[in-house]
Amino acid sequence: MSFIQIIEARTKNFDELRALDAEWEQATEGKRTLQRSLLTRDRNDPDHYVIVAFFDSYESAMENSSLPETAAFAEKYAALADGPMVFQDLDVLDDRS
């Protein structure tokens, strides 16, 4: 079953976070199980960001989360964020185009 994770974060350090994300992508090339992601910004609150991450399954998401590079990324990300990240783990029950 497909799986998505919604991650909400607040930060004033957007450029630093984008650079950190690029580092993670390079470091996890060929290892990560992330299939697709969307980075969005709240029009009414420009320091509020929402990431939608797509995985083949919950298990593949957990495999991605357990990569040492992901743990290091999360630690650095948390240092740049204005508060804790909020995660929602969602099984995809129906996907229509």
Task: Indicate whether 58 belongs to any domain.
Answer: yes
What is residue 77's DSSP assignment?
H
Task: Indicate whether 97 belongs to any domain.
Answer: no
- For the packed helices 58-65 and 68-80, what is the interaxial angle rounded to 10 degrees? 70
- CA-closest candidate to residue 92, choices 28, 5, 4: 4
Q: What is the percentage of the chain residues whose pLDDT exceeds 90?
A: 94
Task: Indicate whether 71 belongs to any domain.
Answer: yes
What's this model's pTM, rounded to 2 decimal places?
Answer: 0.90
Render pLDDT for 21-60 as a digit per residue (tens, 0 to 9): 999 999 999 999 999 999 999 999 999 999 999 999 999 9
CB atoms within 10 A of CB 26: 9
Residues with Cβ within 8 Å of residue 70, at least 6 apart in sequence: 24, 28, 32, 64
CATH number where 32 lies: 3.30.70.100
